[in-house]
Amino acid sequence: MDKIAILSGNAHPELAKNICKYLKIKLSEALVSRFSEGEIRVKINENVRGKDVFIVQPTCPPTNDNLMELLIIIDALRRSSAQRITAVIPYFGYARQDRKDQPRVPITAKLVANLLTTAGANRILTIDLHAGQIQGFFDIPVDHLFAVGVCMDYFLKMKMDIQDLVVVSPDVGGIKMARAYAKRFGASLAIIDKRRESPEKTEAMHILGDVENKNAIIVDDLLATGGSLIEAVEALKKAKAKTIYAAITHGVLSGPAIERLDKCKDLKELVITDSIPLEDHKKHSRIKVLSVADLLGEAIKRIHNEESVSSLFD
């Protein structure tokens, strides 16, 4: 492992340290700060010539700052003669802008893919993309991991009765992820049919599937303002679900999310991953954070050793 280097920007240094702990290597030293006028300053403080370099930098809020840091670090590494540069982006920002759903709007996810490739990234490693087709926006290899195993381990330790368990997709778009959970649990599947009134507001309609007197786990890739989640919880409670949990990979928790969670007493626990750092003011007694450091660490080890990453999905 002497030919591998792990670097981190300012987005999530704690995750980078935990990945290094798993790999039993030290985090490489790099200066990522600001000049007096606010421009990003980057300097790699050790030799990376001929090394396989991995930059851990989720493009979470502040999205533009973290993305720009990532691009500049990639450029610095390319100019330092790194052999291969892999951008480890546990949470891929701008992923929701993956298509033209209105006239005269950009496809920003594609633009970000182009920027990363042009900057000099040779490979991308990410978790639970909002839309799987974003992999096709890149002209370089993309390793797309799933957090289902991490979340499942946690719920299996609760020793829930599978007969009383139902996995719920909060909308039609999340069926694929919900089906993956349901298949692994051997549980039934339910879908909430909803109508979106605006980008921030949704109205839950009716539930496809049986949830009465069952423990429900709502699964999704992303939680922003929490509107969809709260609507789903209310719909499930109305349909006489017994206990309601949520397993969301990326806890963005923007805007009124924490306030909404605080008011929603019917949601027993919200399980998220540390793909995005949870700030102190967002911590809550009903939020449980699971680490994806071991998952990313194992993927990094396999990529470095030219081994199969797909076996991590089993």
Which of the following is catalytic: 43, 194, 240, 263? 194
CB 135 within 8 A of CB 92: no
Determine the pLDDT at residue 123: 98
Residues 155, 166: one domain? yes
pTM for the whole structure: 0.93
Burial 40-56 (b: 16+ CB within 10 A, else e): bebebeeebeebbbbbb
Residues 281, 161: one domain? yes
Residues 200, 286: one domain? yes
Residue 194: active-site member: yes
Determine the pLDDT at residue 197: 64
Which domain does 273 fall in, by range?
A: 148-290
The half-sphere exposure of 41 on its side-chain side, counting CA atoms within 13 A, is 8
Domain of 196: which CATH number? 3.40.50.2020
Residues 132, 166: one domain? no
Residues 137, 239: one domain? no
Number of H helices, E strands in the chain: 8, 14
Residues 195, 271: one domain? yes
Instruction: Please count the residues of the chain.
Output: 314
Residues 33, 134: one domain? yes
Amino acid of residue 249: T
Express each pLDDT in 173-183 by its tens digit.
889 999 999 99
Q: What is the DSSP letter of 28?
A: P
CB 116 within 8 A of CB 92: no
Determine the pLDDT at residue 96: 93
Residues 111, 173: one domain? no
Express each pLDDT in 54-89 by its tens digit.
999 999 999 999 999 999 999 999 999 999 999 999
Determine the pLDDT at residue 2: 83
Residues 137, 181: one domain? no
Determine the pLDDT at residue 195: 67
Determine the pLDDT at residue 220: 95
Residues 309, 228: one domain? no
Count up the domains in the chain and report the number. Answer: 2
Residues 19, 132: one domain? yes
| Residue stretches of the chain with pLDDT short of 50 | none
Residues 199, 124: one domain? no
